[in-house]
Amino acid sequence: MADNRAPEDPSVLYLQKTHMSSKVSSETVDDIVKVKRSDNLIWKLYTDNYIHNRVLAYLDDIGFYGVLKCGSQVFDNHLITALVERWRRETHTFHFTCGEATVTLHDVSIIWGLRIDGQVVTRIHVSHTVEEWQYICLDLLGFVPSSKHLKGGHLSMTALHDHCMSNLVSDDTSEVDVMKYTRCVALMIIGGITFPDYQGGSARLIFLQLLRDIDNVKSYNWDSAVLAFLYRELCNATRIEKTTMAGPLYILQQIWAWSRIKCLNPDRDGLTLVVPLIDPDAIILVSPYGAR
């Protein structure tokens, strides 16, 4: 539980009155920040081996396969709440009794294997009608989602999952259709794992603009975008009225917290490396740290 005493010097940590730690007491110690999840359908595709090797090869080339290799996690809401209580919006760092710490670009890069340099990932604010989004989906994803699956520029993960399951890639699938399938899977990764938001169960279609040219996707600095999004969600979660949280919390929880805060590290005696550093039979030859 965070120390709910006000900072001795409010000139830096001046947002204490609106920070969630200000309401922590013996009566509220069991209140938790609940994680908003949208990733269950992408893990069903991946863990049940419905994603063909041709698609995995594309995902590896654009830099997203490492995210899948890290696997699904069960979120510890109490651990995340404790970290949020220690996060400060003013400094973008966790304030522990031993000092300050934060998630860095280097952490994100080695955990998920995302590119740390390149073009900036930006969002172009566009306003499309449902019919226009349906046309864009047909062009880039290979199907027309029904209007009930489109809401405010979001496409439901159910629509993406159902399309992928009914149009599985094979050795005979055309290269154009493989690329469209890859965009579907990449959009599910973006909406469910790397950039999940409060909508829950959907992905932002504005990311499709970055997936249009498959060969160009790898040129973007996804690492910085993920870190900025994590910082934003941590800052939002510290607000006293917040009870839920979204964002790329895979990085924050087990992988970063277990690695950096040694007292949280589970007992690994007797455990062996599940994913080897070099697997000659795998599509991706070097697994990111989060998968190891």
pLDDT tens sequence across 255-283: 788 888 877 776 655 444 344 334 444 55
CA count, 13 A, side-chain hemisphere, 171: 0
Q: Give me the pLDDT at residue 289, please.
A: 79
Q: Give me the pLDDT at residue 271, please.
A: 43
174-207: per-residue pLDDT in tens? Answer: 999 999 999 999 999 999 999 998 877 899 999 9
Q: Give me the pLDDT at residue 91, please.
A: 94
Going by C-alpha positions, the residue among 267, 274, 286, 281 that lies closest to residue 110 is 286
pLDDT band at 127 (very low <50, low <70, confident <90, very high): confident
Res. 110: pLDDT tops 50: yes
Range with the poorest average pLDDT among 8-12, 81-85, 94-98, 128-132: 8-12
Percent of the chain residues past pLDDT 90, beyond the cut: 51
Q: Give me the pLDDT at residue 279, please.
A: 46
Average pLDDT of the residues in 83-106: 92
30-50: per-residue pLDDT in tens? Answer: 788 888 888 999 999 999 999
Going by C-alpha positions, the residue among 25, 138, 17, 33 that lies closest to residue 80 is 33
The DSSP code for 241 is: T
Q: What is the mean pLDDT of the chain?
A: 86
Quick one: the chain helix, strand, coil %, rounded to 5? 45, 10, 45
pLDDT band at 5 (very low <50, low <70, confident <90, very high): low
Displacement of CA 270 from its chain's centroid (Å): 30
The DSSP code for 247 is: S
Contact of 67 with 191, CB cutoff 8 Å? no
Q: Give me the pLDDT at residue 175, please.
A: 96
72-81: per-residue pLDDT in tens? Answer: 888 888 889 9
| Tokens read off for 40 | 């269950």
Q: Give me the pLDDT at residue 135, please.
A: 94
Average pLDDT of the residues in 109-117: 88
pLDDT band at 71 (very low <50, low <70, confident <90, very high): confident
| Tokens read off for 184 | 């579907």
Q: Give me the pLDDT at residue 284, please.
A: 52
203-250: per-residue pLDDT in tens? Answer: 999 999 899 999 999 999 999 999 999 999 999 999 998 889 999 988
